Amino acid sequence: MATSCSGNVASEITPIEIHPPEVFKIDGTNWQREDSLGKSDTKLLSRYFEKNPSMIDGPLFKGVPTVYHGTKNRRRFYWIGGTAKEPIWVCVHFENGAFQLQDGYGNPYQNKP
C-alpha cells in the first residue's frame, strides 16, 4: 500500500468492474443481451467446441457465457476472466455459418479506436 507525503496511507485504486450491457454496438452492428442460453445457442457452442476440442479446457472458458444476438442469426458468446484490475475476455463470434475467436483485455463491449 502506498503512503502519501503526510504519512497517511493512500486508498487503494478501485478495481474495474465490467457489467454486460443490455445493448451495445460494434462495427455498426447492434447486439442485444439474452437472459440465458437458448437451445440454438447451446447447439452453436457445441458445434464450436466439437471443431475446436483443444479449447474445451481453456482457462477462460469457465462458466456460462454472456450471450448476445445480432441480426441475421449472428451470435456473440463472452467469457470474462483475469483480475478486476486487468480483465481478460474471449468471445466466440458466429456469423454467416462461421465461427471466429476473439480475445482481448479491458472492456469488450466498447469500440476500440
Q: Could you read off the pLDDT of 18-63 as tens digits, one per residue?
A: 889 999 998 889 999 999 999 999 999 999 999 999 998 888 898 9
Q: Is residue 3 part of a domain?
A: no
Q: Is residue 100 part of a domain?
A: yes
16 — pLDDT class (breaks 50, 70, 90): low
End-to-end Cα distance, the chain = 34
Identity of the amino acid at 3 = T
Q: Could you read off the pLDDT of 91-108 as tens digits, one per residue?
A: 999 999 999 999 999 889
Q: Is residue 87 part of a domain?
A: yes
Q: Is the pLDDT of residue 9 over 50?
A: no
Q: Is residue 98 part of a domain?
A: yes
Q: Is the pLDDT of residue 112 over 70?
A: no
28 versus 11: the higher-pLDDT residue is 28
Domain count, the chain: 1
Cell numbers standing for residue 59: 482457462
Q: Which residue, among 71, 75, 81, has the nearest Cα to 104 in the 3D structure? A: 81
Domain that holds residue 32: 25-105
Q: What count of Cα atoms within 13 Å lies in the side-chain half-sphere of residue 70?
A: 17
Q: What is the pLDDT of residue 10?
A: 47
Q: What is the pLDDT of residue 22?
A: 97
Q: Is residue 61 part of a domain?
A: yes
Q: Is residue 71 part of a domain?
A: yes
